[in-house]
Structure 1
Amino acid sequence: MAKTKAKAGGDLWDSIRTLIYAILIAVGIRTFAYEPFHIPSASMYPTLLIGDYVFVSKFSYGYSRYSLLFSPPLFSGRVLDSEPKRGDVVVFRFPQDTSIDYIKRLVGLPGDRIQMKEGALYINGQPVQRRRVEDFEQRDHFGNVVGRTKQWEETLPNGVTYRTLDLYDFGREDNTGVFTVPAGHYFMMGDNRDNSQDSRVPVETGGVGFVPAENLIGRAEIRWISIEPSASLLKPWTWFGAFRWDRMFTGIR
């Protein structure tokens, strides 16, 4: 009987130890390598759709307190810092409430002058190259087209190319003043230009404003799962048809 109890106790401790190791490995991967994020809004259409799940590389820009689980204030600034590039799709903490994660495209580096004129992006006084492409088609889960939106292809000065949407000809942020990005900060914009709360909206009116380098979490690298919002956890028969198979395990640019 004593041996049986000892063996049962040993099995329990082995299980607990295995669980602890698994938790430590998961926390380590999340902190230093990759963290999964879910896309809940349309601000990055057409690049990222509602229901996309992405892996974000934590090592791309180094680490800050926001790289750590629960973001404890153990240190300020960044360690192993690496400069992000224009065109990166970045996850960062919302400057006005650092409990909230945002994802946008980085278009302005420290010292850049950013402006919107008639819906076109200008960097340091020069218009970003763009060309009109086919409309973006929104489809329901049956594949039927339920809407069309004007779509543009932009190419930043460093050669990064991506697509943006233009919902309205005279959107609220289609014409702005000049934003000069301060040192240690970045300018972020959503690809869905008329449906994005981003750096074009100053903090005084509840917007993102300039994003401090410390708030950067990482660069979005891969879409690993994509599910139509129409799927319901309570309706298992909707799951299979809701997967966007063509978007799975695709790179983000």
Structure 2
Amino acid sequence: MRWFEIALVALTFATGIIWLLDRLFLAKRRAERAGLLEAKEPVLVDYSRAFFPVLAVVLVLRSFIAEPFRIPSSSMMPSLLIGDFILVNKFAYGLRLPINNQKIIAIGEPKRGDVAVFRPPHHPEQDWIKRVIGLPGDTVAYRDNQVYVNGEPLTYRPLGRYIGKGRGADMTGASLMQEDLPNRPHPVLERDDLPFFIQGEGEWTVPAGHYFVMGDNRDNSEDSRFWQTHFLPESNLRGKAFLIWMNFDRSAGGIDFSRVGSGIP
């Protein structure tokens, strides 16, 4: 949605400049020309004065406080479903300028297990969402459907078979498990019915200033395991996902009120 971000910044800047120029110079000139008559305000100035405060508030909130995103794919199932609308904390990983995402104030860094929104290095015009598995300096391995962090295998607790619905119904029957990432246990899905082949296996050491990210839907996620560079640069981070505020999936019957207000594991 970079086009929306660009449009919002441009409109805020334009209306602000028009309103400021009118307040400092043009309004006085109109009053002098009108004399005793009431000076008529141009339509452009009237709209700019009315819309600038609204646009400025939206820009500040969206750029530095919280931004809404919609989940378009199944890569984070079962934690996040297709059609979830989420809120992303925009200051969790530092205050960043809109459009170019340049960090201007360092506040915090991702923690292992965070669900982060970012711009992937091979698709910088898109916003993606995955879970942070590896921090700078970590060695992450993935073998036989198991994650290892710094040589230690994560433990898994079976939770039964997953039952999907709507656009996620094709994941029905997948193994639902709890992955015990330290301080951040969360559910993951694994398919047992796929033909045997190497599914993103390997071992990677995360360089400084980068992160290793994975989707919770392990057999249906284009994540760090498959990227040519494998790692997410810190400069590509957009924020930390923390709340589901709406779910709408037409194929599942519309709004799922049970997900409204849910936190993100």
Tell me which interval the TM-score lies in, with the shorter structure as reference length: 0.7 to 0.9
- Select the residue among 31, 51, 61 that pairs with 1:29: 61
> Do 1:119 and 1:175's aligned partners in 2 also have CA atoms closer than 8 Å?
no
What is the aligned partner in structure 2 of residue 183 from structure 1? Answer: 208
- Aligned position for 1:44: 76
Deviations 1:130-184 (A, max 9, x none): 111121111249xx99932111101112x21110000136675546221000000
Gaps of 5+ in 1: 232-240
Q: Distance in 1 between matches of 2:66 and 2:211?
A: 22
Higher RCO structure (Cα 8 Å, ≥6 apart): 1
Q: Relative to 1, partners in 2 of residues 1:81 and 1:139: Cα closer, same or farther, differing over 3 Å?
A: same
Alignment check: 8 A CA contact 2:142 2:148 kept? yes
Distance 1:102 1:136 in 2: 24
Partner of 1:198: 223
1:9 partner SS: coil
| Structure whose alpha-carbon radius of gyration is higher | 2
**Is 1:210 paired with 2:231?**
yes
- Does the CA-based 8 Å contact 1:140-1:146 persist in structure 2? no
The answer for the alignment partner of 1:57 in structure 2 is 89
CA RMSD of aligned residues (A): 2.7
Change in 2 beyond 3 A, CA 1:114/1:170? farther
- Give the distance between the partners of 2:195 and 2:109, measured in 1 at CA: 34
1:224 alignment partner AA: W
CA distance in 2, matches of 1:172, 1:189: 19
Q: Distance in 2 between matches of 1:133 and 1:82?
A: 33
Query: Does 2:182 align with 1:153?
Result: no
The aligned amino acid for 2:239 is G
Instruction: Output aligned runs, 1:52-131, within 5 Å.
Output: 52-64=84-96, 67-68=97-98, 70-71=99-100, 75=102, 79-131=105-157
Q: Does the Cα contact within 8 Å between 1:60 and 1:82 map onto a contact in 2?
A: yes
CA distance in 1 between counterparts of 2:107 and 2:181 reads 23
Q: In structure 1, what is the Cα distance between the partners aligned to 2:58 and 2:120?
A: 25
Partner of 2:260: 248
Distance verdict in 2 for CA 1:173–1:111, change over 3 Å: farther
Q: CA deviation at 1:230?
A: 2.4
Q: Is the CA contact (8 Å cut-off) linking 2:202 and 2:225 kept in structure 1?
A: no
Matched residue SS, 1:22: helix
Could you tell me which residue of structure 2 aligns to residue 165 of structure 1? 189
Distance 1:43 1:6, change over 3 A: farther
Does the CA-based 8 Å contact 1:154-1:161 persist in structure 2? yes
The C-alpha deviation readout for 1:215-246, integer Å capped at 9, x for no partner, is 11100011011011428xxxxxxxxx410100
Classify 1:114/1:248 alpha carbon distance in 2 versus 1 (closer, same or farther; 3 Å). same
Q: Give yes or no for the alignment of 1:223 onto 2:244.
A: yes
CA deviation map 1:106-149 (0-9, x unaligned): 010001111111101110111112111121111249xx999321
How many residues are paired up? 229
Q: Which amino acid aligns with 1:246?
A: S
- Aligned counterparts of 1:33 and 1:49: Cα–Cα separation in 2: 24
